Amino acid sequence: MIDLSRYGYKETKKPPGGLIPGRVVEFRRNQYTVITQFGEVSAVLKGAFVYDAVVRSDLPCVGDFIFLQYNESGASLITELLPRSSKFSRSDYSGHGYAHIKANREQVVATNFDYVFIVTSLNRDFRINRILRYLTQARASGGTPVVILTKSDLCDDFSAQVREVQEAAPGVAVYAVSSHTGFGLDKLSEYIAPGKTVVFLGMSGVGKSSLLNALANEDIMTVKETRNVDVSKGAHTTTHRQLVMLPCGAMVIDTPGMRELGLIDAEESISEGFSDIEELFSMCRFSDCRHQTEPGCAVQDAIGNGTLSTNRWEQYLTQKREDRYLDKKVTITHMRERKKQGKALAKFSRNHEKQKFGGNW
β-strand pairing of 197-201 with 115-121: parallel
Count Cα neighbours of 152 within 13 Å in the Cβ-side half-sphere. Answer: 21
- Residues written for the chain: 361
Q: Are strands 76-81 and 87-91 parallel, antiparallel or unpaired?
A: unpaired
| Global pTM value | 0.71
Q: What are phi and psi of 206, to 5 degrees?
A: -85, -5
pLDDT at residue 230, as a whole number: 43
- In the chain, the amino acid numbered 75 is A
pLDDT of residue 227: 39
Residue type, 87: K
Query: Residues with Cβ < 8 Å from 226, sequence gap 6 or more?
Result: 233, 234, 235
Task: Per-residue pLDDT tens, the chain, 361 aa: give them.
Answer: 899 999 999 998 899 999 999 999 999 878 999 999 999 999 999 988 888 888 888 899 999 999 999 999 999 999 999 999 999 887 655 555 565 565 556 778 899 999 999 999 998 778 888 888 888 888 888 899 999 999 999 888 999 999 999 988 889 999 999 999 999 999 999 999 999 999 998 888 888 889 999 998 877 665 544 433 344 444 444 446 789 999 999 999 987 655 445 555 556 667 666 778 888 888 898 888 989 888 999 889 988 998 888 888 887 887 777 766 555 555 555 455 556 656 666 666 666 566 655 655 4
Alpha carbon of residue 212 to chain centroid? 17
- Spatial contact of 24 and 14, defined as CB atoms under 8 Å apart: no
C-alpha 157 chain-centroid distance: 30
Amino acid at 196: K
**Region of 142 on the Ramachandran plot (φ > 0 left; ψ -120 to 50 alpha; else beta):** left
Instruction: Please return the burial class of 208, using the count of CB atoms within 10 Å of its CB with bins 0-12, 13-18 and 19+.
Output: buried
Q: Characterize the bridge pairing of strands 31-36 and 20-28.
A: antiparallel
The pLDDT assigned to 218 comes to 77
What are the distances in angstroms from CA 164 to CA 45, 98, 187, 239, 356? 45, 44, 20, 31, 71
